[in-house]
Amino acid sequence: MPNNYFITTPIYYVNDIPHIGHAYTSIATDFIARFKRMSGVNTFFLTGTDEHGQKIQKAATKSSIEPIALCDNNSIKFRELANLLNLSNNDFIRTTEQRHIEGAKSLWSKLLNNNDIYLDNYKGWYSVSDETFYNEKDLIKQSDGTFKTFTGSPVEWIEEESYFFRLSKYSDQLLKLYNDNPNFILPKSRRNEVISFVKSGLKDLSVSRNTFDWGIKVPDDEKHVMYVWLDALSSYPNSLGYILDKDSDLSSYWSNATHIVGKDILRHHAVYWPAFLMSANLELPKKIFAHGWWTNEGNKISKSLGNAIDPIEIIAKYGLDQIRYFLLREITFGSDGDFSLSALKSRINADLSNDLGNLCQRSLTMIVKYCDSTVPGHENINDVDKKFLSKISNDLDELSILIDNQEINIYIRKIWDIISDANKYFNDYKPWELKDSNRLAFNNVLYVTADIIKQIGVMIYPIMPNTSEKILDFFDIEIDHISFELLNTNIAKVKIDHIKPLFPRVE
Ligand code: MSP
């Protein structure tokens, strides 16, 4: 089996501009992609935009422009955000691209050929904002008698002719899938929710709409457009060309696919999507990971409250790596969390400026000042120091398991434990007291500290790629081919010529 790994963000709706929630999903996915590449795994990372459906059509009508013009304008904003966030994605797919449209139609034909699609009438609730059909029992009744969804979105009653997918037929197969693959849906709490949902009884799913036309036309019935989720989900394998050609150059990535999604869209990924693939006789993804939602200073982020956090603005103010660090470190990946400026500032000042920044600044400037800018040799290194320096290499397997379980914030905590050990090491040995009295010991402390800083520079690459590059650059190490091998690069006698502060403190 090739050492391939495919990881995706959801593809983002282009009815509006990106906000911090989109940035979060993307940064977390980028973290995992970068970590996998460092581990020597061939990684293909996909992101993109979801451009069809009623929600987009409505937004275009509201702005008095053609839907495709709205898509073009806003898709670019998501592409620019990907650059701004320093995402290492290999592809950016748009559902209005021909390669996608053909793949989506081919998926439809496979479901039809398997006799899983039939024509009927849909009568029920629909949320345009979620692009989701809801059973009344799953909605929340409000005091004025209207209903809203668990995501807080309004619903409308619709009645229209529609093609249906025989989802109910797949209940047992889905339950078997979850049972045989306990890690198919993570975290566990979310897995249980999905299992209860399937056990409560699946109804067949409406998979076409015919009261608007902004979508992919149903093959052989142009009055209908495909349900936007069936269209959108197929973008993942369409990026690889897999639905049209199982033997395409990139198709082998599909056998090891992980989807990172927000908790609101887990049902589409963990129930509808595997059922479509089962019906089409295509391989299933290996893992669906649902992360939590951010609130802003304690409040739900919503258009109506006007409290969306603009990632461009916040990055301009506090710095990209600072925001990447904060989003990944602040909450357990999988749980909800609150974005507050005071928490952000305290993370920047305490974890970045003090713990990491000062460690580099004060130890490496000593090398510049007292060692002719050259990292001392390691002739005097003792067993205790050796053990300290081999800690990260020894823990690599454990760290990889954390990433396979999507425990990103625990990975970061472990790296910061090492930073704190390094600060303690430096403080305990007080090199400033040794520099005249015991040159051998002085050199040794500086060597050990510099080497551990280099290793930290390697390990923070998935979190803060730019800072990783800066730290490794102190030691003249280039990160074009970053891998864990760099942990062992010998830095004794390397010339350090420029130490710039990494993280200015913020007020
Ligand atoms: N277009 C669909 C996905 C189709 S995938 C085949 C979609 N798009 S979205 O733009 O609405 O949302 C994309 C992602 O952003 C989702 O994973 C969603 O959970 C995430 N977030 C939106 N708001 C969020 C927060 N407030 N916090 C964290 N993530 C949030 O859904």
Q: For the chain, what are the domain ranges?
A: 4-292, 341-488
| Structure tokens belonging to residue 470 | 């800066």
Confidence of residue 380 (pLDDT cuts 50, 70, 90): confident
Whether the per-residue pLDDT at 451 is higher than 80: the answer is yes
Q: Whose CA is nearest to atom 29 of ligand 1?
A: 21
The whole-angstrom separation of Cα 481 and Cα 38 is 8
| Structure tokens belonging to residue 54 | 């009623």
The whole-angstrom separation of Cα 274 and Cα 246 is 17
| Structure tokens belonging to residue 49 | 């935009």
Confidence of residue 373 (pLDDT cuts 50, 70, 90): very high
How confident is the prediction for the chain on average, in pLDDT? 96
Whole-number pLDDT of residue 256: 97
Any idea what the Cα angle at residue 252 is, between residues 11 and 262, rounded to 5°? Answer: 25
pLDDT digits (tens, 9 = 90+) for 174-185: 999 999 999 999
Q: Whose CA is nearest to atom 18 of ligand 1?
A: 262
pTM exceeds cut of 0.95: yes
What spacing in Å lies between the alpha carbon of 419 and ligand 1's midpoint? 34
Whole-number pLDDT of residue 2: 65
Write down the H helix ranges in 460-501. 465-474
Whole-number pLDDT of residue 480: 83
Burial of 379 (0-12, 13-18, 19+ CB in 10 A): exposed
What spacing in Å lies between the alpha carbon of 32 and ligand 1's midpoint? 18
Provide CB contacts within 8 A for 476, sequence distance 6+: 494, 495
Confidence of residue 479 (pLDDT cuts 50, 70, 90): confident
Coil, strand or helix at 87? coil
Whole-number pLDDT of residue 186: 95
Whole-number pLDDT of residue 498: 79
Q: Whose CA is nearest to atom 13 of ligand 1?
A: 12
pLDDT digits (tens, 9 = 90+) for 410-419: 999 999 999 9
Share of the chain above pLDDT 90, in %: 93
pLDDT digits (tens, 9 = 90+) for 270-297: 999 999 999 999 999 999 999 999 999 9
Return the ligand 1 atom nearest residue 22 CA: 15
pLDDT digits (tens, 9 = 90+) for 318-368: 999 999 999 999 999 999 999 999 999 999 999 999 999 999 999 999 999
For residues 341 and 298, is the Cβ–Cβ distance under 8 A? no
Same CATH fold assignment for domains 4-292 and 341-488: no
What spacing in Å lies between the alpha carbon of 430 and ligand 1's midpoint? 50
DSSP H/E element including 224: strand 221-226
Contact residues of ligand 1, CB 6 A cut-off: 10-13, 21-22, 24-25, 50, 232-233, 261-262, 264-265, 293-294, 301
For residues 334 and 405, is the Cβ–Cβ distance under 8 A? no
What spacing in Å lies between the alpha carbon of 391 and ligand 1's midpoint? 38
Share of the chain above pLDDT 70, in %: 100
Q: Whose CA is nearest to atom 16 of ligand 1?
A: 262
The whole-angstrom separation of Cα 314 and Cα 312 is 6
Whole-number pLDDT of residue 257: 98
In CATH terms, 4-292 corresponds, of 3.40.50.620, 3.90.79.10, 3.30.360.10, 3.20.20.70, to: 3.40.50.620
| Structure tokens belonging to residue 351 | 């974890």
Whole-number pLDDT of residue 229: 98
pLDDT digits (tens, 9 = 90+) for 60-115: 999 999 999 999 999 999 999 999 999 999 999 999 999 999 999 999 999 999 99
> If one looks up domain 341-488 in CATH, what number appears?
1.10.730.10
The whole-angstrom separation of Cα 50 and Cα 78 is 11
What spacing in Å lies between the alpha carbon of 196 and ligand 1's midpoint? 23
* C-alpha closest to that of 83 among 257, 293, 311, 260: 311
What is the amino acid identity at position 360? C
For residues 200 and 194, is the Cβ–Cβ distance under 8 A? no
For residues 48 and 74, is the Cβ–Cβ distance under 8 A? no
| Structure tokens belonging to residue 123 | 């009568």
What spacing in Å lies between the alpha carbon of 12 and ligand 1's midpoint? 7
Q: Whose CA is nearest to atom 22 of ligand 1?
A: 21
Best mutation site among 9, 12, 330 for ligand 1 pocket (most ligand atoms within 8 Å of CB): 12
CA distances to 101, 116, 230 from 216, rounded to whole Å, are: 7, 19, 10
Q: How far apart are the first and last CA of the chain?
A: 52
Core vs surface per residue 64-87: b (16+ CB within 10 A) or e: eeebeebbeebbebbbebbeebeb
Whether the per-residue pLDDT at 378 is higher than 90: the answer is no
Best mutation site among 216, 293, 301 for ligand 1 pocket (most ligand atoms within 8 Å of CB): 293
Q: Whose CA is nearest to atom 17 of ligand 1?
A: 262
